[in-house]
């Protein structure tokens, strides 16, 4: 006698009644499989809750098998998600590592650039300091026998007279650079420099006395000023360096107390020594040609008392404080000018008059 096969979904049942119940359960399972997205973890999780909650009328152990099948689907999806997440994390870590290395490389380049800038900055500053110390020492030495007795090199506007005898202290320096025209100094400050002059007011903005490129530039006399047949007003220009070099400390005259401690400027030309008493301290700027306004940098020579007095009144009205020092037609003036950053093309200006030499 042949035994009847009561197998459903891989599980064997002993009686026909159990077999019929199993076929009922299989129909439910097949319908669920058709209606459910077996790749959706959310649907599988909900299905599991529905089965456990008795939503479906299972009658055999196939319910347990089906729940295990659903659990397997969930584990597979979870494992896949974990692998995908792990892959995503790895890719993200790789991208972050690339960004980190790129940022590190850029930071290294920037750091090297900054170090290079600082190195160049200190190099130029140190070279400038060393150069001026050498020049200062040279200025104090006795003149060499081969030093010039008169200056042939310094620039002077056309129509000037024959230059007089050069002071001994400048003879050695003229062998270094024929464009030297003097030396400016303010006691107890960084201002203690040779003064240059050429027909080009731009040249000494970035060159030193040795005619080397130097971002500090040099102190120079306006090209239209004359030290042989002295101009009414000699205008000296210098950079406002953050290091305090050149005219970097000139704006300290903004404070009246500073003027009280530094009321005199020593400016010696190649041909004469000079002490100059500070009169006016003011801020101005470089104006366009069309602007009709007092332009201190154009005040070099005057032809009348009225013109001189008018310029004096303009500067007195601009001065930050009253020094009580005045000048008359025939007096000689000295102007120190540097950049001022309170406005575009701003300038900070100190004007002094020459103190008569005591006989």
With cut-offs at 50, 70 and 90, classify the pLDDT of residue 44.
confident
- Please report, to the nearest 10 degrees, the dihedral formed by the alpha carbons of residues 210, 215, 219, 222 taken in order: 100
CA angle 338, 138, 150 (to 5 degrees): 85
Q: Please, are residues 130 and 124 in contact by the beta-carbon 8 Å criterion?
A: no
The residue assigned the tokens 């002490």 is 275
Q: pLDDT tens digits, residue range 189-230?
A: 999 999 999 999 999 999 998 889 999 999 999 999 999 999
With cut-offs at 50, 70 and 90, classify the pLDDT of residue 146.
low
Question: Length of the chain in residues, anyone?
Answer: 359
pLDDT of residue 39: 86
All structural domains of the chain, each given as residue ranges with its CATH number in brackets, are 1-129 (no CATH), 141-354 (2.40.260.10)
With cut-offs at 50, 70 and 90, classify the pLDDT of residue 66.
confident
Statement: residue 154 has pLDDT above 80: no
Q: pLDDT tens digits, residue range 69-97?
A: 889 888 888 877 556 666 666 777 788 88
The answer to which of 161-175, 238-252, 297-311, 332-346 has the lowest mean pLDDT is: 161-175
Q: pLDDT tens digits, residue range 291-319?
A: 999 999 999 999 999 999 999 999 999 99
Q: Measured between alpha carbons, how far is 146 from 172 in angstroms, rounded to an integer?
A: 9
When the pLDDT of each residue in the chain is averaged and rounded to a whole number, the result is 86
Statement: residue 138 has pLDDT above 80: no
pTM: 0.65
pLDDT of residue 183: 97
């Amino acid at each position: 006698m042949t035994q009847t096969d009561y197998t459903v979904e891989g599980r064997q049942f002993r009686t026909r009644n159990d077999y019929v119940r199993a076929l009922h359960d299989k129909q439910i399972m097949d319908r669920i499989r058709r209606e459910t997205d077996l790749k959706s973890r959310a649907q599988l999780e909900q299905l599991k809750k529905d089965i456990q909650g008795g939503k479906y009328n299972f009658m055999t152990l196939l319910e347990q098998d089906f729940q295990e099948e659903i659990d397997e689907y969930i584990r597979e999806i979870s494992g896949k998600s974990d692998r995908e997440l792990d892959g995503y994390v790895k890719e993200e870590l790789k991208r972050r590592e690339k960004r980190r290395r790129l940022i590190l490389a850029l930071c290294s380049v920037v750091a090297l650039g900054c170090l290079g800038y600082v190195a160049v900055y200190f190099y130029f500053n140190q070279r400038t300091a060393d150069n001026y110390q050498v020049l200062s020492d040279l200025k104090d030495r006795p003149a060499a026998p081969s030093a010039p007795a008169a200056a042939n090199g310094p620039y002077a506007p056309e129509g000037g007279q024959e230059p007089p005898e050069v002071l001994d202290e400048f003879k050695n320096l003229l062998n270094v650079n024929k464009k030297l025209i003097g030396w400016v100094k303010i006691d107890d400050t960084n201002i203690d420099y040779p003064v240059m002059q050429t027909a080009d007011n731009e040249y000494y903005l970035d060159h030193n006395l040795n005619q080397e490129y130097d971002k500090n530039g040099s102190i120079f006399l306006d090209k239209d000023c004359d030290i042989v047949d002295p101009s009414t007003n000699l205008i000296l220009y210098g950079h406002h360096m953050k290091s305090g070099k050149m005219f970097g400390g000139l704006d300290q005259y903004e404070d009246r107390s500073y003027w009280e401690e530094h009321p005199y400027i020593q400016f010696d030309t190649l041909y004469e020594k000079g002490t100059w008493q500070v009169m006016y301290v003011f801020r101005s700027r470089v104006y366009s040609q069309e602007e009709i306004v007092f332009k201190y940098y154009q005040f070099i020579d005057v032809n009348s008392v009225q013109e001189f007095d008018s310029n004096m009144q303009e500067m007195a009205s601009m001065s930050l404080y009253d020094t009580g020092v005045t000048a008359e037609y025939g007096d000689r003036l000295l102007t120190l000018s540097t950049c001022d950053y309170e406005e575009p093309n701003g300038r900070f200006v100190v004007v002094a008059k020459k103190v008569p030499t005591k006989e």
